Structure 1
Amino acid sequence: MKRFDGKVALVTGGRAGIGRAIARRLRDEGATVFTAQRGADEEFRSIPSDLADPAAPARIVGEVVDRAGRLDVLVNNAGMMQESAVAAMSLDDWQRNLAVNLTAPFLLIKEALPHLRATRGNIVNVGSVEGLGANPGHAAYCATKAGLHGLTRAVAVDHGPEGIRCNAVAPGWIDTDLNLEFIDATPDPAAFRREIGRIHPVGRTGAPEEVAALVAFLAAEEAGFITGNTYAVDGGRMAKLSLP
């Protein structure tokens, strides 16, 4: 028997990158998987959605339950990152980052809670090491991911007595298609790869499947005594002090 046989999972942003790896891992372990993001998903049961729309979460959760009859696992993975410092960011841009990265997970959790109570299900939020530290020019991304880590703790505390667990993962540099395209667009991709590898104690960057493995563990019954925590998946990057 697989860990998620008979269970239903919703993965936002599941069409590409880390979300795709999570959706595939949960499916391969027996789950019925729905994804929600802009545009159609040819691989999974897809619910095309603009997560900046505050009406989208209720529609997404409602469709999952209508089609599958239950919800066991919610993975809030969808997000956006805009390059901008505080001084250069407009209020409209700030609000859109907040809407996608923090308000959408809040609303999805709110809509999912009645169904997760019924199944004693759980939530995994995909945060970031930038919710723990900061790279230059990522003001909104850092703020919203830190907020998502805080929301994770609050949900775990408030809803643990109802049998609902909530954890977060905080990926570091992961070799998604977008990151690989970014590297290939640099003047010397080979040199960039060497340099980015050096900042990680393990000597390399991560794979989406490595994040998915932790998400699957946290969503599974064997992690039943784990809740309210954020786990870095970063090759030791946040543990390493810079040289003087």
Structure 2
Amino acid sequence: MKRFEGKVALVTGGRSGIGLATARRLRDEGARVFTAQRGEDQEFEAIAIDFAAPAGAGRAVEDVVNQSGRLDVLVNNAGMMQEALVEDMSLADWERTIAVNLTTPFMLIKAAMPHLRSAGGTIVNVGSIEGLGSNPKHAAYCTSKAGIHGLTRAVAIDHSGEGVRCNAVAPGWIDTDINVDFIQKLPDPKGFRQKVGKIHPVGRTGKPEEVASLIAWLASPESSFVTGQVWTIDGGRMAMLSLPQ
């Protein structure tokens, strides 16, 4: 029997990257999958939502439940990144990043909780290794991902006794379409790949499907004694001390 047979999942940002890989993995294991993002999704049942306007999160959950009758798995994957020093970032840009990356997941969890409690469901939040460390000019992104990690622990403490588990994954460099396009546009894509590979003990960057495998496990009954945890998936990058080049 497939792990998610008869289950319903909502994956935000499910049209590309980690979200798409996760939606496909859950579907392949039997789930009815809805994705949530702006615009249509040609592969899955889609719920339209503007992540910069968190008030719409409740309607997204309501739409899923109205169409399917239940909600068993919530994957908060959608996110955004802006690069700027603190003194150069406008308050509007800061608030947009926090709204998309942290407040909307909070609102989705809030709206989904009664349904997840009824189903004995699970939540998996997509954080980042930048919730543990930071790259330059990523103050808002880093803050939002650290917040997601904290929200994960808080929700687990408050609701695991009610049968709702909550965990997070913290991916490192993953070969999403955006990252692959970024590399391909560089003057020396091959050289950059070699350099970025060296900062990972496994010698390479990660694939969306690898993150999706971890998310699926955390959402499944196989991880029934796991809650309130942030699982780093970064090829060992955060474990390795840097050396002079």
Say whether the fold is shared (TM-score over 0.5). yes
Give the secondary-structure state (helix, strand or coil) at the position aligned to 1:2: coil
- For 2:232, the equivalent position in structure 1 comes to 232
- Measured against aligned partners, the alpha-carbon deviations of 1:163-222 in whole angstroms (never above 9, x if no partner) come to 000000000000001000000111111100000000000000000000000000000001
Give the secondary-structure state (helix, strand or coil) at the position aligned to 1:46: strand
What is the Cα deviation at residue 54 of structure 1? 2.3
CA contact (8 A) 2:54 2:100 kept: no
Q: Aligned partners of 2:161, 2:62: CA distance in 1, in Å?
A: 24
CA contact (8 A) 2:22 2:215 kept: yes
Q: Count the aligned residue pairs.
A: 244
Following TM superposition, where does structure 1 have runs of at least 4 consecutive aligned residues deviating by more than 4 angstroms? none
What is the Cα deviation at residue 31 of structure 1? 0.3
- Measured against aligned partners, the alpha-carbon deviations of 1:101-145 in whole angstroms (never above 9, x if no partner) come to 000000000000000010000100000000000000111000000
TM-score, length-scaled by structure 1: 0.99
TM-score, length-scaled by structure 2: 0.99
- For 2:160, the equivalent position in structure 1 comes to 160
Q: Aligned partners of 1:175, 1:11: CA distance in 2, in Å?
A: 19
Partner AA of 1:237 in structure 2:
R
Give the secondary-structure state (helix, strand or coil) at the position aligned to 1:52: coil
Q: Aligned partners of 1:84, 1:165: CA distance in 2, in Å?
A: 35
Give the secondary-structure state (helix, strand or coil) at the position aligned to 2:54: coil
- For 1:75, the equivalent position in structure 2 comes to 75
1:132-151 mapped onto 2 (5 Å cutoff): 132-151=132-151
- For 2:128, the equivalent position in structure 1 comes to 128
Give the secondary-structure state (helix, strand or coil) at the position aligned to 1:112: helix
- The Cα RMSD (Å) is 0.6
CA contact (8 A) 2:122 2:164 kept: yes
- For 2:200, the equivalent position in structure 1 comes to 200
- For 1:84, the equivalent position in structure 2 comes to 84
Partner AA of 1:178 in structure 2:
I
What is the Cα deviation at residue 55 of structure 1? 2.1
